Amino acid sequence: MYLSAETLTQRLTWPAMIDALRTIFTTDVHSPVRHHHFMDVPDEPQATLLLMPAWIEGQYLGVKQVSVFPGNNAKGLPGLTSLYTLSSGTTGETLAQMDGNIITARRTAAASALASSYLSRSDTRSMLMVGAGRMGHFLVPAHMSVRAIETVWIWDRNEDMAQAFAKELVAQGIDAHACVQADLPRIAGEVDLISCATMAKEPVIQGRWLRPGTHVDLVGSFTPTMREVDNQAMQAADVFVDTRAGALAETGDLIIPIKEGAFSEDDICAELTELCGAEHKGRAQLADPDKAITLFKSVGDSREDLAAAILAYNAS
């Protein structure tokens, strides 16, 4: 069985995907650290193979294979190709293969929405989407599935992309607007929720812009040199992560402020397993729930891929 991107989009609805993640983070899942392998390509940049396994004993085994070939851009080909294989946890036989790109995009956005359900204010009505690229198109509807968001602002370094994305949302009946660079500090200081999905290596969002009660969702930084918020934002916020091990090893949003002495790994309030398992009650547990600035940083986890694959397979 092969599940295409179209089929996965139909089966991985936001409510079902969010519930699947909530369950997987309270399930005994084996999820080893992802494997990185580097491959030389003749006369082209070095390629990377990523393998992300996860399994539930006696039930399911899943592996996501991601191939990154930077030289493909010059050929007009996608630089990243991903395939997910779901197998039986009792016999090892292959049950299904799936489009790994859609698995990744939808589980990533669903994880942000899941975190928001614990960390953003229940009366959240406005959001700023920082980044008008592919992930932004998943994050906006995911966040709207858990909060009654009425107004969406879109910012991107490429103002044409921000305008185009805003028009797409307006066509769907959403009150959406493009945010120009000059207005970014003001809009960031007015909205209830900020979601970031950029390739930035310098902070895009400044802590001094954030007003009390804001929730910040960081998706973009996945290497130690990338970051989307400054040290002041990290210090002002109650910080949560998808997994401590992954976030502390991979994202500059944590690595850089820790290295500079502005933040400590002990400052992390909780990870998704603790939120989903009610070991930490999220915003409700903070000293001043109405005024607290919350921040969620995700780097991705193989458990999320496995949850999406099982959901899609069982919906067949």
> Mean pLDDT lowest for which of 42-46, 74-78, 103-107, 272-276?
74-78
108 within a domain of the structure (yes/no): no
Pick the more confident residue, 87 or 34: 87
pLDDT of 304 higher than 90: yes
Q: Do residues 176 and 152 make contact, with C-beta atoms less than 8 angstroms apart? A: yes
What is the rounded end-to-end Cα distance, in angstroms, of the chain? 10
Banded model confidence at residue 75, pLDDT cuts 50, 70, 90: confident
| Pair (148, 96) in one structural domain | no
CA dist., res. 78 & res. 89, Å (int): 32
Judge if 99 and 119 occupy the same domain.
no
Residue 249 has pLDDT above 80, yes or no: yes
Across 118-143, average pLDDT: 96
Q: Are residues 207 and 279 in the same domain?
A: yes
Which has the closest alpha carbon to 64: 18, 24, 25, 96? Answer: 96
**Whether 122 and 218 share a structural domain:** yes
Query: What CATH number corresponds to the domain at position 250?
Result: 3.40.50.720
The reply to whether 155 and 272 lie within a common domain is yes
Closest CA to 124 of 105, 154, 152: 152
304, two tokens: 């999320």
Q: Is the pLDDT of residue 268 over 80?
A: yes
73 pLDDT higher than 80? no
Token pair listed for 96: 């299904």
Is residue 72's pLDDT more than 90? Answer: no
187 and 129 assigned to the same domain: yes
Backbone φ, ψ for residue 222 (5° rounding): -130, 15
**Strand spans (E) along the chain:** 2-3, 35-41, 44-56, 60-68, 80-88, 94-99, 126-130, 151-155, 175-178, 193-196, 215-218, 237-241, 268-271, 293-297
User: 3-state SS of the chain: helix, strand, coil percent to 5?
Assistant: 40, 25, 35
Percentage of the chain beyond pLDDT 90 is 84
Q: What is the pLDDT of residue 316?
A: 74
Total number of domains in the chain:
2
For residues 89 and 145, state if they share a domain: no
Within 10 A of 107 (CB to CB), how many other CB atoms are there?
29
Residue length of the chain: 316
Q: Does residue 163 lie in a domain region?
A: yes
Do 93 and 232 have their domain in common? no
Claim to verify: residue 93 and residue 146 sit in the same structural domain: no
Mean pLDDT for the chain?
Answer: 95
Does the pLDDT of residue 313 top 90, yes or no? yes
Tokens at residue 184, please?
A: 């970014």
pLDDT exceeds 80 at position 156:
yes
The verdict on 40 and 75 lying in the same domain is yes
What's the token pair of residue 169?
């949302």
pLDDT in tens, 160-211: 999 999 999 999 999 999 999 999 999 999 999 999 999 899 999 999 999 9
173 with 293, same domain: the answer is: yes
Q: Which residue has the tokens 């207005």?
A: 183
In a domain, 124, yes or no: yes
42 and 190: one domain?
no
Q: What pLDDT is recorded for position 171?
A: 98
Owning domain of residue 210:
113-300
Tokens matching residue 249? 């090893």
What was the pLDDT predicted at 35? Answer: 85
CATH number at residue 6: 3.30.1780.10
In this model, does residue 39 exceed pLDDT 80? Answer: yes
